[in-house]
Amino acid sequence: MRAFPSRPTRLVLTGLVAALGLTGCSTGQAPSGSTGDAKVVEGKISLTYLQKQGDQEYFIGEAAGAKEKAAQLGIDLQVVNLGNDANKTVSEVQAAIARKSNGLIVVVPDPAVGPQVVQTAKDAKVALLTSDDQICTTGPDPAACGKSDLVPRIGFSGAQMGGEVGKRAAEEFKKAGWKPAETRTLSAWKQDVTVCGDRVKAAKAAFAADAGAAVENIDVATDNTPTGAQDKVAATVTANPGVKHWVIWGCNDENVQGGVTALQNAGIDAKDIAGVGLGAYLACKDWQSGKPTGMKAALFINGADVGALAVQTMYDRLKNAKAFPAEAFASTKMVDAATWRSSGVTCS
């Protein structure tokens, strides 16, 4: 829910673009040995998609996209919700292998289980692909992993997403006309998740480049949930009583929504908050209510696109022996209260 290494080149995945209508791009070939020794499947392909936080709106969409693409390709697909249980990841991987799954697509709750997941898949000669979050074949921390040891991943570019968020946050800051000395930027994320670090780092850099003034930043470590972010941001606000205006971004919509809620509960007016979410699946609920909110914009990331792209990529590997790309990315779009409906955001 990866700072992943910069890659000098990105190759367009033309086959996937044609199949999915996505702006998918690759950053090279798959790491050697990271996909097991899976062989081409002659008959019907069986896949298991294991997701953390499967009841979260983004991952519900991801599962729906995966199921739709699987149905188109004649794939037998099972989706498993891992919640936030790292131990369940290993047991469900083993269960999927026992069910004779030909390939596994995994969104891990904790990257520390990565090496065990990789080894289990490799021993069973089952193809392994990650979506959203990276895992490393040789250690628990993808950020400390050599790029050749990262498992191939389908998702979004953390650097690109964070850059868009930071750019929009700077626009909101300048539009509001706030004094830098009276303003703080607040970065909220689960700090052991590499993709989150990528996003936040890029958001900070983009804001600094575009804001036109230096604004002090406060980092807030969260568990990437709305309630977790709300609690941590509430404590931060209490510790900084002199701040009049807040700009907030984070790893996902959960962090920003939780932070915005904490700020508003502390008596800070919505007009003094510039929250820029990442996902739009929670931000849209604020806009749908029609009430004033500190959630000013959000980057729309469509989980269905990632789920479909992951299934297509695994199909191409198992049916056509096409090597996994090191990474493939789906496209994103910035939305706000005026544009989210026309942009296709689903808001339950």
DSSP state at residue 269 = -
Which residue did the predictor score with more confidence, 13 or 264? 264
At 290, the amino acid letter reads G
Is 9's pLDDT higher than 70? Answer: no
The pTM of the full predicted model, rounded to 2 decimals, is 0.70
Mean pLDDT of 238-243: 96
Q: Are 224 and 188 in contact (CB under 8 A)?
A: no
Percent of the chain with pLDDT over 90: 80
Which residue from 339, 302, 245, 327 is spatially nearest to 24, judged by alpha carbons?
Answer: 327
pLDDT at 68 > cutoff 80: yes
Which two three-digit tokens encode residue 218? Answer: 């406060």
Cβ–Cβ < 8 Å for 300, 346: no
Whole-angstrom Cα distance, residue 209 to residue 166?
A: 9
pLDDT of residue 10: 32
| Stretch (H or E) spanning 249 | strand 245-250
**What span, in angstroms and rounded, lies between the C-alpha atoms of 257 and 293?**
10
Q: 3-class SS at 212? A: coil
DSSP labels, 276-327? EEEESTTHHHHHHHTS--SEEEEEEE-HHHHHHHHHHHHHHHHHH-PPPBSE
Residue 158's Cβ-side half-sphere holds a number of Cα atoms within 13 Å equal to 29
Could you report the per-residue pLDDT of 254-293, keeping only the tens digit for each? Answer: 999 999 999 999 999 999 999 999 999 999 999 999 999 9
Q: What is the pLDDT of residue 38?
A: 66
Query: pLDDT tens, 89-122?
Result: 999 999 999 999 999 999 999 999 999 999 999 9
Alpha carbon distance 74, 335 (integer Å): 35
Q: CA end-to-end span of the chain, whole Å?
A: 19
- Please state, in angstroms and rounded to a whole number, the distance separating the CA atoms of residues 289 and 286: 5
Cα atoms found within 13 Å of the Cα of residue 320, Cβ hemisphere only: 10
* The Cα angle at residue 152 between residues 151 and 154, in degrees rounded to 5: 130
Contact status, residue 152 vs residue 35, Cβ threshold 8 Å: yes
| 70 Rama class: left (phi>0) / alpha (psi -120 to 50) / beta | alpha
